[in-house]
Amino acid sequence: MGTVPTFSMAERDRRWDLARAFMEREGIDALLVFGEHEDAGPAPFAYDTWFTNGRAGTTVVFPRDGEPVSLLPMEMFTKDHLESARRGDVVWIAPENLRMPRDSRAIAAALGELGLERAAVGVVGLEPYPPWHPEGIVPHRLWDAVSTAFPAARFTPVGMALSRLIMALGPEEIAVVRHSARIGDAMVRAMVGTAAAGVPESEVYAAGMATGYAHGTTPAAMHFWTGPAPLASGPPQWSYRPQAPRVLEHGDVVSAEVFSNAGGRHTQHQVTLTIGEPHADLRRAADVARAAYDAGLHALRPGRTFGEAVDDIRKPYADAGGWEFGPAVHTLNPMIAAGGFPNDASRRMAGAGAYPPEDDHRPTMAADMVLEPGMTFALEPNYAYGRHLAYLGGTVIVGDDDAIELNPYTARLLRAEGPAPEQGGA
């Protein structure tokens, strides 16, 4: 996979300068940034790592004047920091700016230490972060204790504003995203090379994940379903309830969302993989999804709004006569917006009447966001005829003029190659 790109101290200074300019512009004296547990999976709430280039799951206090303080959940984080420094890794936070733990008392102590008792503090973590945190990630008990301890401080949610600021990636980040995209493609190719009739689906899953590990990443668990015509998206059933994986059969489809993560920069790869000749309706669905994908490549250009791009991506669906299964596009790095929510998916599925109905067509999240060079998106159009769902696409970067397509390999139906048959004896 070539040389692995890294983040330098110059990248740290670029980000910290952006944060200080943001605070100046917003009229705030400090940022209080909450991070989610490091094993959170796809779309993690990991804004802390943007400041630290370290393990996720910390809380960062960043004064406008001065260096940030990182609050750690346990002493293992300091041991890792020390060992990384000893090995010559690029660590962004000095040992004297690390604290433990990250509870309300530690946060209060850090705010007091930095003289922020009466400050205007921008908080990242109070606002919704769908789909996993519809009310934010900060626990009520912790936030009640902090806000009570600082009655003269002014705490303002700034998560969405900061998200838009950091979405336009710098050159070093783009290099890491490209590296992540190459790894994601390698994961999918390993799945294509493993899938065949008679192979347990868990072996296909394992082939993809193992390839990610072998290339030096720890990818999030993929969404993965198989069957003659699977209409679902999520982890395989045997990952959360005790049951045997399916054995693939001729005519099956493997439907997967593959998540690659290199150094905290994420790419996503949509897989529709057939075992044998695809059904005619699946081919039709793939043609519609591909038309939407091509529309997305044209639409994701600087100066346009996200809402305008979403509208263009969904135009091929209008008169196609089938139905859309899920959102056609969402942001990456971070995942703050999605568009193309279907308004009738649940009504199209046999047996869906027993379940709570979906909301009518939901508005595009962050529709007013203006696209800028360096923003990354999972372009994942999908379409179905009956039960035959084509879900395809990959990661796209907004370029200076046009969209930069990183994963053309998964922007089409894939055919399983399977293991080579054993040679019989003479």
Site of tokens 């046009």:
402
**Residue 348 in tokens:** 């199209």
Compute how many other C-beta atoms are within 10 angstroms of the C-beta atom of residue 2: 6
CA angle 36, 39, 41 (to 5 degrees): 90
Answer whether 51's CB lies under 8 Å from 60's CB: yes
Residue 360 in this model has a pLDDT that exceeds 70: no
3-state class of 27 per DSSP? coil
The model's pLDDT over 110-167, given as tens digits with 9 standing for 90+, comes to 999 999 999 999 999 999 887 788 888 999 999 999 999 999 999 999 999 999 999 9
Work out the pLDDT band at 421, boundaries 50, 70, 90.
Answer: low
Candidate from 109-123, 157-171, 265-279, 353-367 with smallest mean pLDDT: 353-367
Residue 25 makes CB contacts below 8 A (sequence gap 6+) with none
What string of DSSP letters covers 28-39?
-SEEEEE---TT
Residue 52 in this model has a pLDDT that exceeds 80: yes
Q: Is 208 left (phi over 0), alpha (psi -120 to 50) or beta?
A: alpha
